[in-house]
Structure 1
């Protein structure tokens, strides 16, 4: 049995980078939602726009996570 170690290392590296990126993106989404909730709960006048911006950024992060997972499933199925 002959193992292509270079290809195995490449797959490992890409998997590691993709995993860290996806988890980081999801974490940014959760932080954005919590910042938005905190800004909304504090009730200050200027935090309304920052709460909306944090919420929008969180939704963008979650959308990118969904797109990455959907693309991965597409690659596996195709």
Structure 2
């Protein structure tokens, strides 16, 4: 049995980077929703905070959908 360690390391590295990026993007969406609360209480742009949060969540959903597409297809 031969294991291609370079390919295994490459898959590990890419999956680590994508996972950290996806979690970071989701965190930015949560922060955007928190900023929406703060902007509503003070003087801020509520629409910008809400739009950026929803954009982050949409990108997360697109990344998950693409991953499912790669697995199924």
- Please give the TM-score of this superposition, normalised by the length of structure 1: 0.89
Match in the other structure for 1:22: 22
Q: Which portions of structure 1, spanning 4 or more consecutive aligned residues, are displaced by more than 2 angstroms?
A: none
Unaligned 5+ segments in structure 2 are none
Q: Distance in 2 between matches of 1:22 and 1:43?
A: 30
Match in the other structure for 1:71: 66
Instruction: Give deviations 1:9-46, integer Å, cap 9, x for gaps.
Output: 00000000000000000000000001001211x153xx
User: Does 1:58 pair with 2:30?
Assistant: no
**What is the aligned-residue RMSD (CA, Å)?**
0.9
Q: Distance in 2 between matches of 1:13 and 1:77?
A: 22
Corresponding residue pairs, total: 73
Q: Distance in 2 between matches of 1:15 and 1:31?
A: 24
Q: Distance in 1 between matches of 2:50 and 2:67?
A: 26
